[in-house]
């Protein structure tokens, strides 16, 4: 026989008085209420944690999507833009013909010590708002910068075109190699052989 069984046997013949029995019942009822309140508080804390981690998951993995305006082909366009902390983006917008255009990308910046870091949202948006060269199916070549649209098809000499463009605040110098890339500088035209 264990000690617990011996104590049970010894005290089983004792009965508490009526007052003591009421006090024990009252304590048990209060204890049940306290446990119920604790269970409610624990459930609320779990819901708060689950909801908070869901929001953190959406912010960290999926990024935050919002509608912004970008200059696309010389027209200010509403764009659904989603930036992720890893330096990537996805965007979609409706083209003039009503079809949906989707685009994504990203990038890194390298500091003076050679360390890489993801591009910030501001850096990506600056890149998306920079001048763009388009080769159309009809054979024409266009530059788009802000609200400007400039056809440069006839300005190519030996497959190179030099174009000075401005958005009212900033003047840029573009050196374009026909269907072989382009270079943009705030200071001067670049040698087309330097960006092969």
What pLDDT does 191 receive?
85
SS3 108: strand
191 touches 183 (CB < 8 A): no
Same domain, 78 and 116: yes
What pLDDT does 56 receive?
38
**What's the pTM value of the predicted model, to 2 decimals?**
0.57
185 touches 176 (CB < 8 A): no
Choosing from 40, 62, 84, the residue where a domain stops is 62
153 touches 178 (CB < 8 A): no
Same domain, 120 and 107: yes
Same domain, 53 and 22: yes
SS3 169: coil
What pLDDT does 101 receive?
86
What pLDDT does 84 receive?
87
Same domain, 53 and 25: yes
Query: Residue 136 sits in which domain range?
Result: 130-196
Same domain, 162 and 115: no
Same domain, 144 and 168: yes
What pLDDT does 142 receive?
94
Choosing from 84, 111, 129, the residue where a domain stops is 129
What pLDDT does 39 receive?
46
Same domain, 40 and 67: no
Which residues in the chain come in under a pLDDT of 70? 1-63, 195-196
Same domain, 137 and 195: yes
Residue-wise pLDDT tens digits, 54-89: 433 344 445 677 888 888 777 788 889 898 888 888
Same domain, 83 and 113: yes
What DSSP string describes 71-107?
A: EETTEEEEEEEEE-TTSEEEEEEE-TTS-EEEEEEE-
């Amino acid at each position: 026989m264990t000690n617990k069984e011996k104590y049970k046997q010894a005290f089983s013949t004792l009965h508490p008085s009526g007052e003591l029995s009421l006090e024990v019942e009252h304590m048990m009822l209060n204890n049940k209420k306290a446990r119920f309140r604790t269970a409610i508080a624990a459930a609320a804390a779990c819901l708060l944690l689950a909801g908070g981690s869901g929001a953190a998951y959406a912010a960290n993995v999926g990024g935050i999507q919002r509608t912004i305006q970008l200059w696309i082909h010389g027209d200010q366009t509403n764009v659904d833009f989603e930036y992720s902390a890893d330096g990537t983006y996805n965007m979609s917008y409706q083209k003039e013909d009503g079809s949906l255009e989707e685009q994504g990308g990203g990038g890194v910046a390298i500091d003076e010590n050679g360390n890489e870091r993801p591009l910030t949202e501001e850096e990506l948006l600056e890149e998306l708002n920079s001048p763009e060269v388009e080769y159309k199916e009809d054979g024409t070549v266009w530059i788009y910068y802000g609200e400007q649209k400039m056809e440069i098809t006839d300005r190519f000499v030996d497959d190179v075109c030099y174009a000075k463009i401005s958005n009212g605040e900033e003047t840029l110098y573009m050196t374009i190699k026909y269907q072989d890339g382009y270079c943009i500088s705030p200071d001067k035209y670049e040698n087309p052989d330097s960006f092969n």
